[in-house]
Amino acid sequence: GESSSSTNKELKDFLHSVEKNRKEAATSIADFKFNKNRVRVLSKEEAVADDNWALLYAQKLALKFKLSLRVCFCTLPKYMDSTIRQSMFMLRGLEEVNAELKQLDIPFHLLYSNNKEEVAQNVLNLVDDHDVGCVVVDFSPLKIARAWVDDLKEILPKDIPLCEVDAHNIVPCWVASDKLEYGARTIRNKINSKLGEFLTKFPPLIQHPYPVDKHSWSINWEDEAKKFEVDRTVEEITWAQPGYQAGMKTLHEFCEKRLRNFATKRNNPLVNALSNLSPWYHFGQISIQRCILHVNTFKSKYNESVNAFCEESIVRRELADNFCFYNAKYDKIDGAYDWAKKTLNDHKKDKRTYVYSCDELASSKTHDDLWNSAQIQLVKEGKMHGFLRMYWAKKILEWTPSPEEALRIALYLNDRFSIDGRDPNGFVGCMWSICGIHDQGWREREIFGKIRFMNYDGCKRKFDVPAFVARYGGK
Ligand code: FAD
């Protein structure tokens, strides 16, 4: 969009160097040595699963057996608490995917289901219609997506192997750890010690040499957009454009302009020091592994910032997946540690000085100008600064009748307004703030019990609160 021509040239060079890197990584995907730990064979029959990452893995299999390759994506009228803001970001990103796959002779199918029970059946219909010999699915630790994979496993004929690839974690979730981890402290070394094995270059996806007989390549994107049955009053965001290209542009700008400040200023909501990559990460429009490989090239220049970015993007993010994967109650107070449940229960009846409804919170009508400003940032921009998200969720615990209600409202508002919402990081962020997961007990106080407390004065010590309030206009 609005960048100068010199920035455009830099971006072009950057994209070109990524492309070159990909080509140098391996001359042919067929020769590329895949790490089989990235794949789980879900069907009972043993499959020829000797290798890697979702689509690349699927292409490698197709090449090996000289078969065509198809990609499908399942859409629903509404996914969790999404609004048109998230639905369109996803759809526009898929439009770009479709165009790229067309160049590579890989047909893309957008499979619309009326409800979540139909999803697996629609995939099975595609398998039947095209005589598909193997299905490779992407991994998600969230219940709804896992239920689809379980449904598919049930109904897929037993002679069709079903494989799952963790394409968004650098160290696959089930390899990083085989159990629920207590916190960053206990998983950090498990992940970092495996980066040598998994933080590798990507082979290129190639033009597929076994094309399909016939495929209707055009998708009516306007019609697809009309199918969403979501709230259309939450507007689409403009600062982040969907798709791979825009995500890579943001990565490039981050490294050039913001990375230098990441280590020291990332907790200051007035400084533009964050990567802002979470929208593209969340929708899988850019690969986190690609971002880390690129950010790592700045290590000699900004060592501390690079380390801090890897800690957030790898350790913290993969810890969130660990929590959701191994704890089915990842969205309930019941999923918290015993000490946290006990302390919240001990303080359940404490008097709340302020009690707000979900509507009052959604429309920034509290007595706290900082909180209201953060909520305005979330509603208007679709992304609240990371530091304020903690303060925001903790105040919801303080100002609602019970921890259960606080968690429900925090998740609802997060998933409704945040462009990166409905993500393992969101469940973990809210659970960390409200019921202390991955945290420890602190000095006991009203309402919070031993859950870590945050207050307005603490924020004033960290950054210029009036300046933030003036920027967003919270009253
Ligand atoms: P950067 O600081 O540039 O970090 C880069 C990446 O590292 C992020 O995109 C993210 O993938 C990861 N990361 C950063 N901080 C964390 C963290 N605390 N935990 C796990 N991973 C992290 N993140 C979401 O992606 N979706 C959410 O819905 C979400 N909801 C949150 C709700 C609450 C109450 C809290 C406290 C945190 C939440 N987070 C969520 C985590 C974090 O705040 C965001 O990932 C971050 O602000 C995204 O902005 P960025 O990409 O510019 O981050």
Please tell me the predicted confidence (pLDDT) of residue 30: 63
- Partnered with residue 445 across adjacent β-strands are 449
Q: Which residue's alpha carbon is at the smallest distance from atom 27 of ligand 1?
A: 426
The pLDDT tens digits of the residues spanning 276-313 come to 999 999 999 999 999 999 999 999 999 999 999 999 99
Using the CB atoms, write b or e for 194-224: b if 16+ within 10 Å: beeebbbebbbbbebeeeeeebeeeeeeeeb
Strands of 162-165's sheet, edge to edge? 39-41, 162-165, 135-138
Give the position, in ligand 1's atom list, of the atom nearest the Cα of 277. Answer: 51
Give the position, in ligand 1's atom list, of the atom nearest the Cα of 422. Answer: 28
Q: Coil, strand, or helix at residue 453?
A: coil
**Which of 80, 267, 278, 434 has the most ligand 1 atoms within 8 A of CB, as the residue to mutate?**
278
Please tell me the predicted confidence (pLDDT) of residue 49: 32
Give the position, in ligand 1's atom list, of the atom nearest the Cα of 385. Answer: 47
Distance 278 CA to ligand 1 centre (A): 7
Question: Would you say the CB of residue 433 lies under 6 angstroms from ligand 1?
Answer: yes
Q: Does the pLDDT at position 21 exceed 90?
A: no
Q: Which residue's alpha carbon is at the smallest distance from atom 29 of ligand 1?
A: 426
How far is Cα 92 from Cα 243, in angstroms, rounded to an integer? 7
Q: Does the pLDDT at position 453 exceed 90?
A: yes
Question: Would you say the CB of residue 320 lies under 6 angstroms from ligand 1?
Answer: yes
20: phi then psi, degrees, rounded to nearest 5 = -60, -45
Distance 425 CA to ligand 1 centre (A): 6
Mean pLDDT computed over 442-464? 97
Placement of tokens 């993500």 in the chain: 423
pLDDT, greater one: 48 or 191: 191
The pLDDT tens digits of the residues spanning 407-417 come to 999 999 999 99
pLDDT band at 262 (very low <50, low <70, confident <90, very high): very high
Give the position, in ligand 1's atom list, of the atom nearest the Cα of 415. Answer: 28
Question: Would you say the CB of residue 312 lies under 6 angstroms from ligand 1?
Answer: yes
Give the position, in ligand 1's atom list, of the atom nearest the Cα of 418. Answer: 28
Q: What is the ipTM of this complex?
A: 0.99
For residue 308, the tally of other CB atoms under 10 A from its CB is: 16
How far is Cα 53 from Cα 39, in angstroms, rounded to an integer? 7
Q: Coil, strand, or helix at residue 21?
A: helix
C-alpha dihedral sign at 287, 288, 290, 291: positive
What is the tally of helices (H) and strands (E) in the chain? 23, 5
Mean pLDDT computed over 125-148? 95
Please tell me the predicted confidence (pLDDT) of residue 5: 61
Question: Would you say the CB of residue 418 lies under 6 angstroms from ligand 1?
Answer: yes
